[in-house]
Structure 1
Amino acid sequence: MTRPFKIPESVLVVIHTPALEVLLIQRADAAAFWQSVTGSKDRAGEAWRETAVREVAEETGIDCAEGSRLAAGLRDWGLENVYDIYPRWQSRYAPGVSRNTERVFGLCVPAGTPVALNPREHTAQRWLPWREAADACFSPSNAEAILMLPQFTA
């Protein structure tokens, strides 16, 4: 059975504590790649926030859906990045699709919030001070978002 092509619209969710420690997760398919939560829309009509809530739950086990205790901590930063899709992942998209639009969110969680990684997607986690986290990211848009964290938490 053929897997449907990915939608070139995704979210980036910077998960952080009030002290600005940032959660980074290591990709299972690229061990040198540390990142925040990312993921594409499942369907064209899926709202950005819905995508963010789903991806956070799928990748970390953290529940930030409406009605949860962490729902108020999920904030849409109103930022979008448009970038070229990395060649190693190009085959996941329809022929001719070469750019992705990424919507940026922040999720503030209490220090010590448990994380349960999906082992098919990520193999390790670490919490780092925001500047160190930005330096550790493989993605320039992820690093830039982390560097903007203080202005979105002020």
Structure 2
Amino acid sequence: MPKPPKIPESVLVVIYTPALDVLIIERADRPEFWQSVTGSKDRIDEPLVETAVREVAEETGIIVGGPLVPFDALIDWGELIEYEIYPVWRHRYADGVTRNVEHWFGLEVPYRLEVQLAPREHTAYQWLPYEQAAARCFSSSNRDAILQLPRRLRVRTSAEPVSPQPPSEA
């Protein structure tokens, strides 16, 4: 039975450490095409967070919500882009589908974790400082997402609630 066409809505998950080392993985179907974790929804009504958690597990073996990576380490960056699907991959979609909507997520892991690749999808992985990881990515949108990492972390840190001050003694 043939696979159903891919849904043209996907996630991009930038996986990084507190030191801003970023995980990139090499595509099995295109050697030297390095990228972050990406993947399409399995069904139209699949929540994007569910897609992100599933794709991270499938492509890297990292379990979001497990002992090393708590669920709140996955952050929906609230950014989406629309791009033209590369012609080489259009056969995976329904006839006439040429554009995809991609939603960006960040996932902070405690350190450079060992990764279990899905061999039919990826052949190698690297942990690199974020600027070097961005430079290796074949996709300009993936590069942009990685290069925004320091700014996104500053915004997240500054948006965290301030703990209340103890009352002053009079």
TM-score by length of 1: 0.96
Q: CA deviation at 1:16?
A: 0.2
Classify 1:110/1:66 alpha carbon distance in 2 versus 1 (closer, same or farther; 3 Å).
Answer: closer
- Stretches of structure 2 that go unaligned for 5 or more consecutive residues are 155-170
Q: Displacement, 1:17?
A: 0.2
CA distance, structure 2, for counterparts of residue 115 and residue 67 of structure 1: 15
Segments of 4+ in structure 1 off by > 3 A? Answer: 65-69
Return the alpha-carbon distance in structure 1 between the equivalents of residues 44 and 9 of structure 2: 9
Paired residue type of 2:81: N
Letter in 2 for 1:85: I
> Once structures 1 and 2 are overlaid, which stretch shifts more, 40-49 or 110-119?
110-119
What residue number does 2:57 align with? 57
Question: Helix, strand or coil for the counterpart of 1:77?
Answer: strand
Q: Deviations over 1:73-128 (max 9, x none)?
A: 10000000100000000000001111000000000001132211111110000001
Per-residue CA deviation, residues 14-60 of structure 1 (Å, 9 max, x unaligned), is 00000000000000000110000000000000011000000000000
SS in 1 for 2:53: helix
Q: Is the 8 A contact 2:130 2:146 kept in 1?
A: yes
- 3-state SS, counterpart of residue 58 of structure 1: helix
- Which residue in the other structure is 1:134 paired with? 134
Identity of aligned residues (%): 60
Distance 1:42 1:88 in 2: 21
Q: Distance in 2 between matches of 1:135 and 1:112?
A: 19
Structure 2 partner of 1:19: 19
With structure 2 as the length reference, what TM-score do the two structures score? 0.87
Paired residue secondary structure (1:126) = strand
Q: Match of 1:116?
A: 116
| Structure (1 or 2) with the larger CA radius of gyration | 2
For residue 68 of structure 1, report the CA deviation from its aligned partner: 7.1
SS of structure 1 residue aligned to 2:152: helix
Report the AA paired with residue 101 of structure 2. Answer: T
List alignment gaps of at least 5 residues for structure 1. none
CA distance in structure 1 between the aligned counterparts of 2:100 and 2:69, rounded to whole angstroms? 31
List aligned pairs for 1:41-56, cutoff 5 A: 41-56=41-56
> AA paired with 1:105?
F
Q: How many residues align?
A: 154
Amino acid of the structure 2 residue aligned with 1:55: E
- Aligned CA-pair RMSD: 1.3
Structure 1 residue 64, shift from structure 2 partner? 0.6
- Name the CA distance, whole Å, in 2 between partners of 1:40 and 1:31: 21
